[in-house]
Amino acid sequence: MDRDIDLFLDMMAAERGASTNTLSAYRRDLEALHQFLVSRKVALRAATDEDLRAYLGALNTRALAAASIARHVSAMRRFFKFLQAENLRAENPTDKLARPQTQRPLPKILSIAETQRLIDAAYALPDKTPAETLAKCRAVCLIEILYATGLRVSELMGLSRTAFDGDMQALIVRGKGGRERLVPLSEPARQAVRAWMQLRDEQPRAAASTFMFPADGRLGHLTRQRFTQILHVLADNAGLDRHRISPHVLRHAFATHLVENGADLRAVQQMLGHADISTTQIYTHVMEARKKQLVEAGHPLAAYENFDVNDKTG
């Protein structure tokens, strides 16, 4: 069992460029399936579609969310497809499994005004000491890049020192699966990056790092946890609810504000690094939902819950 799972995870890492978090999730789900099959005296490699349906039934009794069950099904599909491709079994028992229907929730976003308040809070940080100046410059650079590009937080934290050249108008970003893409920068973002890189390179320990945002920890670069803490400080200073603020919320704000202002969906897809445009289309739904909220809040007839356009009595 362990060998089959290990072989599968090796393939996912080498051929698909799966992240450490993704690999850990696959391992947890497949080992949970294995434990269930042990109770039925069935080997993992020999599981039938009936065994897998019984497993999904057991998951349902635990009242798991549809999205969680869908993740288990996805792990099983990939695993047994791998076994079949490697001639470790003749057929794929997941071919007849139905994937749970899930409704993807609309992403949480900030308005343009709220985003501006957050950015302004970064520029308003104290800079009376060298340490404060360094922290402020880094915070400004981080938030300007994130709102200008919509990078994933892992991409932002792991940016290479060579991702930006002083004359460039874009960043070279290494995304999921090791794929590189060029993401344009706004003028405020370019100025923030230039200022940060100049100050960063004046720090002896930072200058030797290969990362744009170096740190002393195990990873060698700023962590997403630390960046989230920085955003929470900015949220407090801006008078925003810190529980609404995260790196991913700013990524959503970047994409939604672009779509709302008429940006081409394919261009947004490329900037976000989405492999499938259907993932990017969620932002058109966000725009429609916000329009509906505006109508419900501001239209004079919105308060009449039982208003009937065919009613002639009024």
Q: Extract long-range pairs of 209-216: CB within 8 Å, 24+ residues apart.
A: 209/161, 210/160, 210/161, 211/158, 211/159, 211/160, 211/161, 212/159, 212/160, 212/161, 212/163, 212/164, 213/138, 213/142, 213/156, 213/157, 213/159
pLDDT of amino acid 311: 46
DSSP label of 214: B
Residue 110 in this model has a pLDDT that exceeds 90: no
Closest CA to 302 of 313, 291, 288, 312: 291
Pinpoint the alpha helices (H) of 16-111: 20-39, 49-61, 66-85
Identify the weakest region by mean pLDDT among 113-122, 173-182, 216-225.
173-182
Instruction: Please tell me the total number of residues recorded for the chain in this structure.
Output: 314
Identify the weakest region by mean pLDDT among 20-24, 125-129, 134-138, 174-178.
174-178
Place of tokens 């993932």: 279
Q: Which residues are catalytic?
A: 152, 176, 248, 251, 274, 283
Instruction: Estimate to the nearest angstrom the gap between the alpha carbon of 172 and the chain centroid.
Output: 18
Closest CA to 192 of 211, 164, 160, 216: 164
Identify the weakest region by mean pLDDT among 17-21, 234-238, 244-248.
17-21
Contacts of 203 (CB under 8 A, 6+ apart): 134
3-state secondary structure of 164: coil
Higher pLDDT, 239 or 286: 239
Tell me the C-alpha distance between 31 and 36, whole Å. Answer: 9
The fold adopted by the segment(s) 112-295 is hpI Integrase; Chain A (1.10.443)
Higher pLDDT, 302 or 257: 257
235: region left, alpha or beta (phi > 0 left; psi from -120 to 50 alpha): alpha
User: What are the Cα distances from residue 204, in Å, to 36, 132, 179, 194, 208?
Assistant: 55, 17, 31, 18, 7
Give me the residue spans of the domains in the chain. 2-85, 112-295
User: How many beta carbons lie within 10 A of that of residue 306, not counting itself?
Assistant: 5
3-state secondary structure of 181: strand
Mean pLDDT computed over every residue of the chain: 82
Class of residue 76 by CB neighbours under 10 A (exposed 0-12, middle 13-18, buried 19+): buried
Tell me the C-alpha distance between 256 and 139, whole Å. Answer: 23
Tell me the C-alpha distance between 82 and 84, whole Å. Answer: 5
Are 49 and 97 in contact by the 8 Å Cβ rule? The answer is: yes
Instruction: Estimate to the nearest angstrom the gap between the alpha carbon of 63 and the chain centroid.
Output: 26
Tell me the C-alpha distance between 163 and 189, whole Å. Answer: 14
- pLDDT (mean) for 117-121: 96
Residue 286 in this model has a pLDDT that exceeds 50: no
- pLDDT category of residue 308 using cuts at 50, 70 and 90: very low
Are 40 and 51 in contact by the 8 Å Cβ rule? The answer is: yes
The fold adopted by the segment(s) 2-85 is DNA polymerase; domain 1 (1.10.150)
pLDDT of amino acid 184: 84
